[in-house]
């Protein structure tokens, strides 16, 4: 495997910053579609009323992936088809607006969101808002400068599937002036070897820059890159060189496309090569850095090219031999801030100068978490936490729910579901449900009993029906208000075991049978049962 490890001290930074990368919003012609299957994953044209073909990839409309928001066409000439529509979210009462996509737990995915404002709301500047993946606050979305330049903006991260679904959500900020919007969404399967030194059970990686050095012209992506990563050209004042050797992406853990390594930046024999990359300053944080090197000469016993690699004056790798087959070196936890300089110092015996062909930098972002508590022993074998399963079951069992009931129910803390209160710290637990007088219909699923951290349930004044589940395992309950609904069936006598229960309002329903004596005689319990059909 053509890869080596450069070790650096671990450092954790809690700064979440994504450097937006750009591509033009218009094009004179589309590239012809390649006769190869498109990468595995989801390619969603948000707000479009039909599937869209762009180059080699077919983009599906977003029907079935989100249940909220409105579609809008962008009426501008010569617009790329992918940017000709968007979905926006005008409901200011919702805490977030989510797309839900099926994933495989433990699989790594490249997640990309694309934004082009187009003045859809009649304004002159796009709104600023947040984006969230599962329970992690990813970044702010501010496309103002790019839109003024006639450019769209995209953001990328590498994340691992935490359960059966992945949620990609938008959320308002205090300074959000109008409706959050999105033009396109991609969730692409990555190979198991790619970026595998990062602990994705604890972190995600947001893309800062991905470049092919010594190149000019267009961005390299699919079909050259089978995972549709964008490799932007990068050139400076240093000499450029073209490769004459064949390159196999499978020889590299991260599988860069051969086209991204076909050129490089170099210098003369005996000289040091200094490259200022990326061109923007980086916030103080922890980064994953991967650098790719490949000797462009035809392979032979005399074609060695040996040099040391340093980043900002710190050793990154010593004695690297950039063979014709190519080599990758990386650091999975590197501290960077401000301007970044890569310095290549040649070995005294090297017959040619050093060179570099490509590079990637990702910021390491701690996971915001997932509402994950094993609330009862019977849930130990569940693929995701019982709490999440219970809340998802509840959402699917009720109708007329608030529009933000998608994604993680608790995280990020400021963007929990409407009517849901959760604990802070870890693990996160659902503490309260308050949706009284919300016009809800449907029934309560039996899995609600897995929410054993729940203290209060307020669902009065709705149109809920069916039996009341046995809540006796929810020992933290202090108040249950289910009055003025259409619940039927009997009251389970085991509810008298709820030692902390102080309020049980069941009045004005269709309950039958007998009121358990243990509840009628329970000291300190405010029990209301009038308006039912008890014996």
Nearest to 363 by CA among 20, 108, 7, 13: 13
Tell me, yes or no, whether 97 lies in a domain: yes
Average pLDDT over all residues of the chain: 87
CA distance 29 to 183: 20
Domain's final residue, options 121, 155, 190: 190
- The arithmetic mean of pLDDT across residues 262-267, rounded, is 93
Tell me, yes or no, whether 381 lies in a domain: no
The stretches of 362-491 forming alpha helices (DSSP H) are 386-397
Q: Spell out a b/e string for 440-475, using b for 16 or more CB atoms within 10 Å of the CB, else e.
A: bebbbbebbbbbbbbbbbbbbbbebbeebbebbbbe
pLDDT tens digits, residue range 112-149? 999 999 999 999 999 999 999 998 999 999 999 999 99
346 has pLDDT over 90: yes
**Is 291 found in the same domain as 233?**
yes
Whole-number pLDDT of residue 86: 98
Tell me, yes or no, whether 225 lies in a domain: yes
pLDDT tens digits, residue range 485-515? 999 999 999 999 999 999 999 999 999 999 9
When divided into structural domains, the chain yields a total of: 3
**Is 346 found in the same domain as 290?**
yes
Q: What is the 3-state secondary structure (H, E, C) of 160-193?
A: ECCCCEEEEEEEECCCCCCCCEECEEEEEECCCC
User: Which domain, by its residues, includes 157?
Assistant: 41-190
Q: Tell whether pTM > 0.85.
A: no
Whole-number pLDDT of residue 243: 80
6 has pLDDT over 70: no
**Is 236 found in the same domain as 175?**
no
Task: Return the beta strands (E) in 252-326 as ranges.
Answer: 263-266, 273-276, 282-293, 306-311, 314-321
**Is 177 found in the same domain as 49?**
yes
Handedness of CA 74, 76, 78, 79 (dihedral sign): negative
**Is 519 found in the same domain as 440?**
yes
Nearest to 434 by CA among 474, 462, 467: 462
């Amino acid at each position: 495997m053509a890869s080596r490890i450069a070790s650096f001290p671990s450092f954790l930074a809690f700064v979440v910053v994504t450097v937006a990368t750009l591509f033009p919003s218009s094009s004179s012609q589309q590239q012809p579609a390649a006769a190869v299957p498109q990468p595995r994953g989801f390619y969603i044209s948000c707000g479009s009323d039909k599937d869209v073909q762009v180059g080699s990839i077919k983009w599906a409309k977003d029907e079935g992936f989100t249940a909220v928001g409105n579609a809008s066409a962008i009426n501008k000439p010569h617009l790329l088809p992918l940017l000709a529509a968007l979905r926006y979210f005008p409901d200011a009462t919702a805490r977030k607006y989510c797309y839900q996509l099926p994933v495989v737990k433990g699989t790594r995915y490249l997640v990309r969101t694309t934004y082009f404002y187009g003045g859809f709301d009649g304004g002159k500047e796009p709104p600023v808002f947040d984006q969230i993946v599962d329970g992690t606050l990813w970044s702010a979305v501010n496309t103002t400068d790019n839109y003024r330049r006639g450019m769209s903006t995209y953001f990328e991260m590498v994340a691992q599937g935490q359960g059966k679904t992945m949620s990609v959500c938008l959320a308002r900020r205090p300074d959000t002036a109008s409706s959050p919007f999105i033009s396109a969404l991609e969730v692409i399967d990555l190979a198991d070897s790619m970026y595998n030194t990062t602990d994705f059970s604890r972190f995600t990686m947001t893309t800062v820059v991905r470049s092919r050095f010594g190149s000019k012209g267009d961005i390299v992506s699919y079909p050259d890159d089978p995972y549709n990563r964008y490799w932007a050209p990068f050139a400076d004042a240093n000499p450029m060189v073209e490769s004459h050797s064949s390159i196999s992406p499978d020889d590299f853990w991260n599988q860069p496309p051969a086209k991204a390594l076909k050129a490089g930046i170099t210098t003369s024999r005996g000289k040091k090569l200094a490259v200022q990359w990326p061109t923007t300053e980086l916030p103080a944080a922890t980064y994953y850095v991967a650098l790719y090197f490949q000797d462009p000469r035809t392979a032979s016993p005399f074609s060695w090219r040996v040099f040391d690699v340093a980043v900002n004056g710190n050793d990154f790798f010593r004695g690297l031999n950039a063979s014709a087959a190519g080599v990758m070196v990386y650091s999975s936890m590197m501290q960077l801030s401000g301007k970044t300089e890569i310095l290549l110092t040649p070995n005294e015996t090297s017959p040619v100068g050093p060179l570099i062909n490509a590079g990637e930098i990702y910021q390491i972002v701690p996971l915001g978490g997932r509402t994950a508590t094993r609330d009862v022993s019977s849930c130990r074998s569940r693929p995701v936490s019982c709490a999440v399963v219970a809340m998802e079951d509840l959402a699917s069992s009720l109708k007329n729910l608030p529009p933000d009931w998608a994604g993680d129910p608790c995280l990020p803390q400021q963007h929990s579901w409407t009517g849901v209160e959760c604990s802070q710290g870890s693990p996160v637990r659902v503490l309260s449900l308050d949706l009284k007088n919300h016009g809800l219909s449907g029934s309560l699923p039996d899995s609600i009993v897995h929410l054993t951290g729940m203290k209060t349930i307020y669902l009065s004044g709705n149109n809920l029906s069916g039996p009341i589940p046995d809540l006796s395992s929810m020992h933290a309950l202090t108040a249950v208000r289910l009055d003025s609904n259409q619940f039927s069936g009997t009251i389970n006598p085991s509810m008298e075991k709820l030692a902390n229960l102080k309020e049980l309002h069941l009045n004005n329903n269709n309950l039958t049978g007998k009121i358990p004596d243990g509840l009628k005689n329970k000291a300190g319990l405010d029990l209301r049962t009038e308006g039912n059909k008890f014996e």
